[in-house]
Amino acid sequence: MPEGPELHLASQFVNEACRALVFGGCVEKSSVSRNPEVPFESSAYRISASARGKELRLILSPLPGAQPQQEPLALVFRFGMS
């Protein structure tokens, strides 16, 4: 299980790797995943990350003018014991 500093480094990596990228389309779930679908689709969005404690938060932020218009969505990954 990752510790706090490792999650902080992971968020820094995501921010550095995705800084100049623009993503598009919907979020696709693996066919073997038991997690719920992610209700997000946009023609152009950016991904950023932040870490706090045992949580890593990915923020999907649509760019101005992207269709369909949608609010930013935060995906929270919890790495605690429960």
Catalytic residues: 2-3, 54
Distance CA 11, CA 80 (A): 17
Can you name the residues that pair with 23 across neighbouring β-strands?
45
Q: What tokens does 2 get? A: 């990752």
Per-residue DSSP letter, 54: T
For the beta carbon of residue 58, count every other beta carbon within 10 angstroms.
Answer: 16
